[in-house]
Amino acid sequence: MPDHEFDKALGEKARELRLQPSPAVWEGVAAQLQEKKRRRGAAWFLMAAAVAGLSLGGWWLAERHSPQEGHQQVVTTNPDQQAATTGSSATAKTAGENSNAADSRDVASNQPESINANSVTNSDAGTGSDAAGNAADNTTDNAVTKRRINNHNTTAYRSTVHNQMKSAAGITTGSATAKTSRKQQGNTGNTPGIDQSADNYGATILTENSVPRVPEAFAGQLPLQGKQSIAVQQPKSKTGNIRPGNLPATTISLKEKTNRKWQYSFEASAGVSTLNEQPFSGYKADQMEYQQNSSLASNGLAVIQRNPSEIKGGFSFQAKVLAHKPISSKLRLGTGIQYSYRSSQVKMGKVVDSTFALYNIGQDRILSALAYAGGTANKGKDFTNSYHYLEVPLELSWNIDRRKHWYFNNGVSLGYLVKSDALLYDKDGGVYYRDNDALNRWQAGFFSSIQYNINPKSDMQVALGPSIQYQLTPVDLTTDRKHLLHLGFSARLQWVRQSRGAMK
């Protein structure tokens, strides 16, 4: 029998062998698969928890700061009581006779404007002394009447208020509605002082029924702008009459309104990208990929030594277009599309015959690929591994300070590898080769940046600051520990539609 036939017969016979493994083998496989699934699930859970925690934290901080920065309350009293204003930027008290309260209710010393109550004095206000007396008698009634004035421009507001308060307590401009009892119309001429400290404040005037005097006039001018509202709460009188000056306390609540208009931004970031095992721990190619190929070699036989190249950081760049929706005065959610370029550098040797060097599970594909000898032992030249991703980011942006200069942006992104010429290292063969099928196409990651907005009052704003993005998904399938990290400096151009009629 010829030698090759003998070999063939032996080989065929050997390949026929079938052995039944013990059940413990499958149990081990299943346990490992389950563990991998669990770890993957845990990673996603952690990401979701991080985003949720961030959102809640931001919301809590925003809520915590909002009363000081954006919410003011003004309380006016009857002639014997004081009007008080609380707020982060202003606190003032107004005291005096009810008839003069209007003149002294400029409750916030730093407010640029205030409403002059006289401009909206109800001509009927002083006419119903009997009615007012009745109203005073009925101040224990818990019912209140709300009047709202919603304005889209100052002129319309003032004229409307003036006219309607002459004839009726219900005041409506824009989309607002006002309902009031006819019986109370004559008693609404006096409107408490209102003040406002900044843009985008809505004003709420509450007249509490527990105090028996009605303020007689507005004190100051209301800086009116888009979609502000004023609510006046008065005791509902069974008889419909409240004596002027007998309504005791008027609470003016000034709450910052959130500009919920969509905002758009373009951001570019450039920096360096590295391959990391952990977010801040670099990938050690010589430790992870070097393999001493001498275990089966005979003594005295030369062993091919193949060292992987050190992986150095490379240039990285990303650009994204985002649409943001404010969800509170401090927070906004944004999403859009992002292009990311990442790179790393290795030293590769000369082109080698892949059939000579390659051996791994993807052998069929690698055998047909171009391969390069490992660089360290070959004094090779630099090669740049490049990765191009398209990503969909979901960003939560938090405005840290009240002046709207500092923003803390965080989020997650889901990306897809659209192109790459990266080389992989085959530690068994000691060569670099290209196989895009061995790269993880889908990438999940998180990003963060702190930016300083240099012109927060402009419609077109510019924000600058450092940024970081870390890919939770390994860059390739050959190892679980190779993650792309981008560290860069970002510049954001954002278009924010400011409210019309904003106070200057």
Partner 1 sequence: MTNEQQLVRDCLKGKPSAQKMLYEQFASQMLGVCYRYTKSVTDAEDVLQEGFIKVFHYLAQFRGEGDLGAWIRRIMVTTAINYLKKNAKYQYDLSFTGEEKGYLHPVSPDNPEVSLSAKELSDLIRQLPPGYQAIFNLHAVEGYTHVEISSMLGIHEGTSRSQYARARNLLITWLQQESEPVNLAHYARS
Asked if 23 is part of the footprint of partner 1 (rule: CB under 8 A), the reply reads: no
Of 161, 133, 354, the C-alpha closest to 242 is 133
Contact of 180 with 170, CB cutoff 8 Å: yes
- Between β-strands 249-256 and 263-278, what pairing exists: parallel, antiparallel or unpaired? unpaired
Q: What share of the chain is helix, strand, coil (3-state, %, to 5)?
A: 25, 40, 40
Contact of 214 with 141, CB cutoff 8 Å: no
Q: End-to-end distance of the chain based on CA atoms, in angstroms?
A: 104
The CB-of-381 to partner 1 minimum distance in angstroms stands at 23
The CB-of-179 to partner 1 minimum distance in angstroms stands at 60
Asked if 118 is part of the footprint of partner 1 (rule: CB under 8 A), the reply reads: no
- Out of 142, 155, 287, 295, the residue judged to bind partner 1 by CB under 8 A: 295
DSSP reduced 3-state for 27: helix
> In terms of CB distance, is 242 or 431 closer to partner 1?
431
Contact of 470 with 482, CB cutoff 8 Å: no
The mark string for 299-338 relative to partner 1 (x by CB under 8 A, - otherwise) is xxxxxx----------------------------------
Asked if 10 is part of the footprint of partner 1 (rule: CB under 8 A), the reply reads: yes
The CB-of-368 to partner 1 minimum distance in angstroms stands at 12
> In terms of CB distance, is 34 or 68 closer to partner 1?
34
> In terms of CB distance, is 301 or 460 closer to partner 1?
301
Distant-in-sequence, close-in-space partners of 101: CB < 8 Å, separation ≥ 6: 76, 79, 83, 94, 117, 190, 192, 193, 215, 216, 217, 219
Asked if 288 is part of the footprint of partner 1 (rule: CB under 8 A), the reply reads: no
> In terms of CB distance, is 155 or 292 closer to partner 1?
292
> In terms of CB distance, is 132 or 352 closer to partner 1?
352
Distance CA 160, CA 200 (A): 21
Asked if 129 is part of the footprint of partner 1 (rule: CB under 8 A), the reply reads: no
Asked if 21 is part of the footprint of partner 1 (rule: CB under 8 A), the reply reads: yes
Based on its alpha-carbon atoms, the radius of gyration of the chain, rounded to whole angstroms, reads: 36
> In terms of CB distance, is 436 or 448 closer to partner 1?
436
The mark string for 418-457 relative to partner 1 (x by CB under 8 A, - otherwise) is ----------xx-------xx-------------------
> In terms of CB distance, is 40 or 179 closer to partner 1?
40
- Out of 14, 155, 287, 504, the residue judged to bind partner 1 by CB under 8 A: 14
Asked if 33 is part of the footprint of partner 1 (rule: CB under 8 A), the reply reads: yes
At 390, list the tokens: 């398209």
Task: Find tokens 């993957």 and name the residue.
Answer: 40
Query: How far, in Å, are 168, 216, 313, 337 from residue 189 at the CA level?
Result: 10, 6, 73, 55
Of 71, 169, 155, 75, the C-alpha closest to 122 is 169
> In terms of CB distance, is 113 or 426 closer to partner 1?
426
Distance CA 397, CA 384 (A): 34
Distance CA 324, CA 496 (A): 10
Asked if 20 is part of the footprint of partner 1 (rule: CB under 8 A), the reply reads: yes
* Region near partner 1 per CB under 8 A, out of 5-13, 55-63, 335-343, 490-498: 5-13
Asked if 3 is part of the footprint of partner 1 (rule: CB under 8 A), the reply reads: yes
Distant-in-sequence, close-in-space partners of 70: CB < 8 Å, separation ≥ 6: 198, 201, 255, 256, 329, 402
Distant-in-sequence, close-in-space partners of 287: CB < 8 Å, separation ≥ 6: none
> In terms of CB distance, is 29 or 56 closer to partner 1?
29
Which residues from 336-375 bind partner 1, rule CB under 8 A? 355-364
Binding site for partner 1 (CB under 8 A): 1, 3, 6-7, 9-11, 13-22, 24-26, 28-30, 32-33, 36-37, 291, 293-304, 355-364, 428-429, 437-438, 477
